[in-house]
Structure 1
């Protein structure tokens, strides 16, 4: 039986930290659902095990739990129940709900993260940041010096 706080916080969650990586998500019934793949967030190998951290209304960590991960197969009963709802919650998705669901079926993976037996809450949560450092990207560039219209002179003493 999962900790009752997991379900309560999960229902309100729009994002979650999965092994220190921020990901958008949606909670349906008894599981947290995420999408990973081309055109979506890159979450790496989720089937190897995931630690999920959810925040509360105050922005701080509320609960952390080890997830039992399963892939939602396209065309299955769970897929039919969840995929369209999940696509409806996807902000800034390109295309209609049906187009997004079709793209996920062909290119991406939809994963269900169900809570295991143990959950860490309250004072048992770590105090420091658990965020993963930013990944290298070709989009990064060197910061330019600020533009100054007139020469700035040092004040006389």
Structure 2
């Protein structure tokens, strides 16, 4: 398969997705929303601990694996390899990508300052297909996908709340 054929197949699959799972440096996959800008797939990654999607280390990774889930998110449509390229803030390409991402961004705070915040606090990254499609419909690998949950300091508060309108355990006598 040529790179052009692979890019066309990837474009067809990416049209069906609004979210992808990215993994880089043999790390745990992370969800990321993206936008298509002039045939390129652009992801917004938080450079610091700000308000955008946290993808630590993706800007310097150089390569990533992109997993495209099906709409019900219970299966995969495809998986492909990408090179990661950072856009230089303020350049024409960065501005065009930022304008498209701005319209795709849901629940954004402070819209009037959003682009300035992205210049200083976030990285706009382009995912460029290498032409290697690792999985596609009907051709999946045998790797087990189950992973243990990420550790967290969160705990339950204690006893679960009382359920109101509980079903009566014993029927009353009818007489």
TM-score interval (norm. to shorter): 0.7 to 0.9
Answer whether contact 1:13 1:27 (CA < 8 A) is retained: no
What's 2:86 paired with?
71
Other-structure match for 1:17: 21
Aligned counterparts of 1:141 and 1:71: Cα–Cα separation in 2: 38
Contact 2:84–2:126, Cα closer than 8 Å, also in 1: yes
Query: 1:27/1:132 Cα in 2 relative to 1: closer, same or farther (>3 Å)?
Result: farther
Task: Tell me the TM-score normalized by structure 1.
Answer: 0.81
Q: Residue 137 and residue 101 in structure 1: after superposition, are their counterparts in 2 closer, same or farther (change >3 A)?
A: farther
Of residues 106, 119, 122 in structure 2, which corresponds to 1:105? 119
Tell me the CA shift for residue 69 of structure 1. 0.6
- Residues 15/137 of structure 1: CA separation in 2 closer, same or farther (3 Å cut): same
**Aligned partners of 1:30, 1:131: CA distance in 2, in Å?**
33
Q: CA RMSD of the aligned region, Å?
A: 2.8
Could you tell me how far apart the structure 2 residues matched to 1:36 and 1:108 are?
6
Larger gyration radius, structure 1 or structure 2: 2
TM-score, normalising length from structure 2? 0.74
1:74 Cα deviation after fit = 0.9
Deviation for aligned residue 1:148: 5.1
5 Å-filtered alignment, 1:54-93, equals 54-57=68-71, 59=73, 60-93=75-108
Aligned residue for 2:67, secondary structure, equals strand
Q: Structure 1 residues 131, 18: CA separation in 2 closer, same or farther (over 3 Å shift)?
A: farther
What is the alpha-carbon distance in structure 2 between the residues aligned to residue 44 and residue 125 of structure 1? 28
TM-fit CA distance, 1:23:
1.2
Return the match for 1:95 from 105, 110, 116.
110
Q: Which runs of 5+ in 2 are unaligned?
A: 24-28, 171-175
Output one character per residue of 1:6-50: Cα deviation in whole Å (capped at 9) or x when no partner.
112223421100012111111222221111112111112113221
* Gaps in structure 1 of 5+ consecutive residues: none
